[in-house]
Amino acid sequence: MKKYTILMMMLCGVFGYSYAQDAGTPSEGSGKAAGYAPVAGDFSGAILFGRGNFLNVTAAEMTPVAGASWTVPGAAPYLNTTETNDNSISNIVGAEVRYFLMDNIALKLSGGAILRNTPARANTPGVIDANAPNSAWIPAYEAVKNDNRSDININLGGEYHFASKYSRLFPYAGLTIPFYYARRTMYDPTIIYSLEGDDFEIVDVGHRHVETIGFGAQAVTGVDYYLLEGLYFGFELKPVSYVYAYSNKIPGPGLETLQADTHTFSFFSQVFMKIGFRF
């Protein structure tokens, strides 16, 4: 609760300052005030706050288990960007860049990416001779599992900015084309050696992959309020959204791929808060 209190105090302070500075600001018609209204050729950049905008992807846990069946999970991809609960205004979810082709028309690109890579390292068996008390013991070194993860979301679209009777307030509406990509690759290089003979067991047959791709179309509406010249605060809402997502699961090299897909429709969801700069 403390972080929300501090955030609200900061916003109230900035709003109070901007209101005092705005007293007597002359307008130039159509609600455009000098210094605040975007014009053709301007760029703006903003940080987005709200719910994470990445697809929910499970890890590629599909290794064979001794004495049990080898199963490839059939779960379809899950679009958690439209979850109904647990939205947080203090969570940074990505960034946005706009370029104004005209005073009231802008191109928009937003999104984010997370890339992780853990290289595999083979295990080393230990040496322990319980019958020789003074012998040196060599510890066993566990393998490092290969774990590669990629999460990318990109939204490309356009906006139309409407005239407003207020000098600092600029509502807009538009359309965006979202693209989501996520991939999980895992491999366990562990080799289990027998202490009684030369037998050994290979834990994993090779690299396992889960790949998820999503795309669709989304209507966007929002409003920007300029706190200062070049500094704005805003909210954005997606009144209508459709996303198609599908996943490919490969349990091992040369094995058949299991595919699953999901259609997600949402209405008046995915609310974002943003703080940005125009330059």
CB atoms closer than 10 angstroms to residue 134:
5
278 touches 99 (CB < 8 A): no
pLDDT of residue 217: 94
Give the pLDDT of residue 27: 42
Measured CA to CA, the distance from residue 253 to residue 256 in angstroms comes to: 9
What's the pLDDT at 275? 92
The token pair at 89 is 């205004």
pLDDT digits (tens, 9 = 90+) for 82-135: 555 556 666 777 899 999 999 999 999 998 888 999 999 988 887 776 676 666
Q: Which stretches of the chain score pLDDT less than 50?
A: 1-7, 10, 14-15, 17-18, 20, 23-33
| Most distant CA pair in the chain, distance | 95
Six-digit token pair at 176?
A: 């965006």
CB environment 241-264: b (16+ within 10 A), e (fewer): bebebbbebbbbeeeeeeeeebeb
Residue 25: what pLDDT? 45
The secondary element (H helix, E strand) that includes residue 7 is helix 2-22
What pLDDT does 164 receive?
A: 84
Instruction: Tell me what pLDDT residue 163 has.
Output: 86
For the entire predicted model, the pTM comes to: 0.75
CA-CA distances (angstroms) from residue 7 to 4, 11, 13, 14? 5, 6, 10, 11
Q: From residue 231, give the alpha-carbon distance in Å to each of 32, 70, 84, 225.
A: 16, 56, 31, 9
Q: Per residue in 12-34, pLDDT tens?
A: 554 454 454 554 444 444 444 45
Determine the pLDDT at residue 230.
86
